Amino acid sequence: MKSENKTASSKEEKRKDAHIEIALHEEIDLMKDPFPQTVLKFQTFPEIDFKDIDTKCRLFKHDFHLPLMILGMTGGVDRGYDINTRLAQVATQFNIPMGLGSLKLLIKERHNPSSHAKKSFDMKKSFPSLYLVGNIGLASFNEGIHLDDIKWLIDTLELNAFCFHINAMQECIQPEGQKNFKGLIKSLEKACHEIKIPLILKEVGFGIDPDSFKLIKNIGLSAIDLASKGGTNWSLIEGMRGSLRLGTIFKDWGNSLEESLNNCQSDSSLSLIASGGIRNGLHCAQALSLGATAVGIGLPLMKAAVQDIENQTQTLEQEILFFEESLKISLFCTGSDSLKAFKAKHGK
């Protein structure tokens, strides 16, 4: 049994390494304008002092410095440790939440004392004040993973919130993809009842449709990460690992971020995290005007983290500062001294 577990873990590690290499070096970011129809109203006389602009955001009943989340991208491999450590350092510095890549490998190695997977995910050990978000595929419940495993992850890694990603298209294109998605809404609802920390449902690059939103909006989630088409394209990533022909024909599948936000309008307390092509503070302001509570950025921050690691630079800090500056300009030029004031003027 141990040798079978090691073989499975080895295959998963190779897949994670391949994901990193493809994300860093191939053209898998579609770089489309996420908000072609959303124009913010310019105010000639802002009547505020730029230095007084407040970008604080309340998400998961927690106050953050910016309405920005570093999305879960990697872990479980040696290179993932370096990347996650750099991301965790900056997330702590700027008081923003950080997500981890899929923790499935850690569960598979749960009973293997020689496991090295935990190191790449165990960011709280070095950054105890970090707001850390775990992550696993929701379809894992149909692969033998149980709620007790999720609770073990939460306790072991001292997670503040947990994300279940839903990735039907990715699994279809992935060479070793798992396509049994039957009964997952019931599994998600059970998790919402039994897990005590905030839970997030996340798409992986294809957006949320209105019918699916209606099914999940009242089951007890704290947030939905809309992760729409226009950013990192997992159809292409998995296609480059398997059938590029297959991956290419589905590269434009799904809803744009603008469409997803319009699909998920609700009077509930459910927070919407906008991701999928978000690259700056203007994009963030546009997302907030359409009902988002915060935004998520993944690939650009991972690339900046790798550049820092390889060249001993501070590119990642520069990316966050650029996001903050462009967000403040967006608020200032709409006459808003805070996110609350901006949403009162421009929000849905």
pLDDT by residue (tens digit) across 221-261? Answer: 999 999 999 888 878 888 888 888 998 999 889 999 999 99
Q: Which of 31, 202, 2, 229 is nearest to 108 (CA)?
A: 2
Average pLDDT over the chain, rounded to an integer: 89
pLDDT on residue 20: 64
Task: Give CA angle at 72 (271, 266), nearest 5°.
Answer: 15
**Structural domain span for residue 220:** 2-346
> pLDDT category, 32, cuts 50, 70, 90?
confident
How many CA atoms lie less than 13 Å away from 254 in the CB half-sphere? 31
Lowest mean pLDDT among 64-68, 158-162, 244-248, 289-293: 244-248
CATH number for the domain spanning 114: value is: 3.20.20.70
> pLDDT category, 327, cuts 50, 70, 90?
very high
**Could you tell me the CA-to-CA distances from 9 to 16, 77, 191 in Å, in that order?**
10, 10, 25
Pairing of strands 199-203, 271-274: unpaired
Model confidence pLDDT, tens digit, residues 142-184: 999 999 999 999 999 999 999 999 999 998 898 888 899 999 9
As for how many domains the chain has, the answer is 1
> pLDDT category, 17, cuts 50, 70, 90?
low
The structure's pTM equals 0.91
Lowest mean pLDDT among 49-53, 237-241, 266-270: 266-270
Judge whether residue 75 has pLDDT over 90: no
> pLDDT category, 4, cuts 50, 70, 90?
very low
Please classify residue 275 by burial: count the beta carbons closer than 10 Å to its beta carbon, then call 0-12 exposed, 13-18 middle and 19+ buried: buried
As a whole number, mean pLDDT of residues 130-136 equals: 97
